[in-house]
Amino acid sequence: MLQSIDKVTVDDFDVTGRVKVSDPRSVEVEVLAIFRKLYPDADLSLIEKGFDHFIRCYSGEHPDYHGVDTPYHDIHHVMDVCLACARLLAGYEMKHKDQPLGLEKALLGFICALFHDAGYLRYKDDYETRHGAEYTRIHVSRSGLFLEHFLNDNGLSHLVEVAQTLVQFTGMELEISALKFEDESWLPIGYIIGTADLIAQMADSQYAQKCHSHLFTEFSIAGMTEKETENGEIEVLYSDADDLIRKTPCFINDALETRLKNYFSRSYEYAAVFFGGRNLYMEGIQKNLSKIIELGKQL
């Protein structure tokens, strides 16, 4: 095993090196600043309530939930995604000033990003499940139920159905082509949420280490290192953590071409609008791709 991927080192900051994504309150300050610039004088209390609820649930302080125990899909990951989502939303609004998304859509999109992985959280009265990763295959649908409770509690029941469709853009439970809205103006929000989930994790400076040390663990617990074929035979998907690393470049390239560029209509480009030219997320992904290819050759 290579020393360079044997241990995840601590890197608390986002792609700018400025926002501490291990600290939800630091991310909250940044997100509120982005939204206040987009929508001056708007009521942003939903974002504040969302962060309060997130912190209680993920820290284990909420009476209904254990704290997060998935090492890859952790607080750092969710905060990274939230920050990316807010930036993409801002980039969209900056580029489409003649037809903006508007406050309601942007707020709901952000809340969906905030709770897109809440389906990994275990209920405290769930005595059959020992680890959140056991929910991997159905975590997106469970996130939809989590969103339903949060939106109902905040007087937004009319947005539950839309939210439960939007959050599916972050998962693989349903084909993207199957995700429909009565009002198709919600589609850009789905694309942005799905894009944020991918670019935030793949641009993380510790992406290779986290895949090796954490993601493989989650896949193993979820029973996703192998699958049964139509012939009833067992096909090994990842024999070990090293094998996952060797196959990660294929995942990255497929995510770039199939999902980011095709399904999600190149919504990652809104990051460059937000940053004023450079796309720090795509630059980070390319660096990680090169790094992982080289690591794979040495394994």
Query: Which tens digit of pLDDT belongs to each residue from 289-299?
Result: 999 999 999 98
Give CA–CA dist 53/118, Å, rounded.
11
pLDDT at 97: 95
Across-strand partners of 13? Answer: 20
pLDDT of amino acid 10: 58
Work out the burial of residue 211: count CB atoms within 10 Å of its CB; fewer than 13 is exposed, 13-18 middle, 19 or more buried. Answer: buried
Give the pLDDT score at 219.
97
Could you tell me which residues are beta bridge partners of residue 227? 235
Q: Which residues pair with 20 in a beta bridge?
A: 13
Residues with Cβ within 8 Å of residue 109, at least 6 apart in sequence: 85, 89, 101, 166, 189, 192, 193
The pLDDT of residue 7: 57
The residue with tokens 């290192």 is 225
Residue-level pLDDT at 3: 46
What type of residue sits at position 34?
I
Q: Identify which of 266, 271, 273, 265 has the alpha carbon closest to the alpha carbon of residue 94.
A: 273
- Work out the number of other CB atoms within 10 angstroms of the CB of residue 135: 22
CA–CA separation, 117 vs 190, rounded Å?
Answer: 15
Q: What is the pLDDT of residues 137-195, one digit of tens each?
A: 999 999 999 999 999 999 999 999 999 999 999 998 888 888 999 999 999 999 999 99
Q: What is the pTM of this model?
A: 0.95
Phi and psi based region of residue 174 (left: phi greater than 0; alpha: psi -120 to 50; beta: remaining): beta
The parts of the chain modelled with pLDDT lower than 50 are 1-3
- Report d(CA 143, CA 171) in Å as an integer: 10
